[in-house]
Amino acid sequence: MLLRLYGWLLFFLCGTAAMAQKVTYTQPEKDDYKTTEFEIIGKVGGQIMVYKSDRGDYAVSIYDNNLQPVQRIPLDFLPKKLLSMDLVAYSDRVLFFYQFQRKDAVFSFCATMHANGSFDQAPLLLDSTRIGNVTVENKVYSVQFSEDKSKILLYKINQDRQNDNIFYTFLYDSSMLLINNSRVSMPMETKKHFLGNFSLSNEGDFIFTKLERSSNRDVMVAGQLVQKQATVDSFALYPFDLKGQLVDEVKVKLDNVAKRVITAAFYYKQKRGNVEGLYINKFDYGQQQPVYEKFADFSQQLKASAKGDASTAGAFNDYFIRRIVNLKNGGFLVTAECFYTTSRYQPYNRWNYLYGPYGGMYPYYYSPYSSMYNPWFYNNGPQGNRFHNDNVAVLSYDEEGNLQWSNIVNKSQFDDGSDMFLSYIMVNVGSELRFLFNEADRRNWLVADNSITPDGKISRLPTLRNLDKGYTWMPRFGKQIGARTVLIPCVYRNYICFAKIDF
């Protein structure tokens, strides 16, 4: 479950002086080893919840506002081996969507936990699928939920003999009452075509992209935005007009207020060329018509400020889009981080990340972010690799896709064999955005704090207070759980702990 950002209230609050932060830690728990997988659920019933999994043992830890343990709820009803777990949190309950395999069938269930940790009903069977192979354990079902969490979509994709994708969709409301279920076919003309960026609108519209790779998989040469309306059993496809330009790492962001969708990607003029700027497509999914489509060049001044150790022409070649954030004025904000890997065996560049054997969690493009922390993924990079996470570019566009301002959060991070302590978390505190990330201080990490105002001014703030020795933060796995509160996981000795920051 990817991390959810609050909208930036540009015209609601005026700038205020930075205030001191309060940092609170959980105490190490005997069962929360460094090998524990976890996902921060957030605040439910006024208490903070974290889902944890370790070698077939599943539990939810509940903390009070001071991070004192209230109770630990064992999830004994879960099978020992899960294929996936998706969580949807409300103010008074949490929905657990999980799937597992028994013999040659995969089952999808939903369980509801109330704020007090109780389960008053048996888990609900949503669907099952025979896969015809007992030895292969594959995830069959995926879950998407809308921004307001009023709609939840369970879906699976099968292939027929013509290699077309057959979608089976189950749309629910927040009470898990079925609204619509469909069987819809999506033609996949060649093996160069693939699907991604699956999203669900507040109205229940299923929106994603269908893209076509070049012959050598380097870039995208064509694409379409796909929409399935909530109660319509068919897909509508809207082609992108790339005008001969090449794009990669396409990202999509829904604006549920305006009923529009932003598609953005870096673009090139030639294969393995330099990043020239940002391709932007704004589409009105409510009226099912395009708003605009454009290629926004990066100026030489912007490239010069973003380049780091690279050349000006290739300044953005190692940048990857991390977030698209909707603004209240109809515009949007894009953040992109410089990421690359060095190795004593071979150099890794953008093309290796996007399409090579270590291309992140998704088969089609590099995307290291997930709300679920998996120690086996983040601690098992290719031997001899050094990971680098450097500057963050922040680009603000108006409602017509014109660049209003840009700035760079300067940082330089590297680590050997793992990138779990690298990158950053962006926190919206209303009057500004805060960027928290680790900085090397001799052999230790210190947490740096940078702020950026609605007009693009960046300030480097004092190092966070009350940073107890021995706690190493993992900012990228943090989650904003309140208007001015964020929860960030830490490693203390050999245990997973959590730090709460109140701004």
Q: Dump pLDDT digits (tens) for 480-495.
A: 999 999 999 999 998 9
- pLDDT score of 465 more than 70: no
* Angstrom distance (rounded) from CA 480 to CA 483: 8
- pLDDT score of 172 more than 60: yes
Q: What is the mean pLDDT of residues 253-267?
A: 98
- The residue ranges of every structural domain in the chain are 146-297
The pLDDT of residue 359 is: 35
What are the tens digits of pLDDT across the range 262-317? Answer: 999 999 998 889 999 999 999 999 999 999 999 999 999 999 999 988 899 999 99
Dihedral sign, Cα of residue 308, residue 313, residue 318, residue 324: positive
- pLDDT score of 368 more than 70: no
The pLDDT of residue 353 is: 57
The pLDDT of residue 351 is: 57
Q: What angle do CA 351, 352, 354 make, to 5 degrees?
A: 65
What are the tens digits of pLDDT across the range 104-153? Answer: 899 999 999 999 999 989 999 999 999 887 777 789 999 999 999 999 99
* Angstrom distance (rounded) from CA 82 to CA 78: 8
- pLDDT score of 77 more than 50: yes
The pLDDT of residue 369 is: 37
Query: 80: exposed, middle or buried (C-beta count within 10 Å: 0-12, 13-18, 19+)?
Result: exposed
- pLDDT score of 354 more than 90: no
Structure tokens at 389: 């996470």
* Angstrom distance (rounded) from CA 42 to CA 422: 22
Contacts of residue 336, defined as CB under 8 A and 6 or more positions apart, other chains included, come to: 266, 316, 319, 320, 321, 322, 392, 393, 395
Burial track 326-352 (b if 16+ CB lie within 10 A, e otherwise): bbeeebbbbbbbbbbbeeeeeebebbb
More confident residue, 443 or 306: 306
Nearest to 252 by CA among 230, 273, 280: 280
Q: How confident is the model at residue 160 (pLDDT cuts 50, 70, 90)?
A: confident
CA 479 to chain centre: 11
The pLDDT of residue 35 is: 86
* Angstrom distance (rounded) from CA 460 to CA 434: 10
The pLDDT of residue 17 is: 39
The pLDDT of residue 31 is: 86
- pLDDT score of 347 more than 70: no
Structure tokens at 368: 């290291």
* Angstrom distance (rounded) from CA 234 to CA 421: 44
The pLDDT of residue 382 is: 59
pTM: 0.89
Nearest to 55 by CA among 78, 87, 29: 78
CA 387 to chain centre: 19
Residue with tokens 């955005």: 433
Nearest to 408 by CA among 360, 450, 469: 450
Structure tokens at 470: 């021995």
* Angstrom distance (rounded) from CA 471 to CA 45: 28
What are the tens digits of pLDDT across the range 4-26? Answer: 333 443 333 334 434 568 899 99
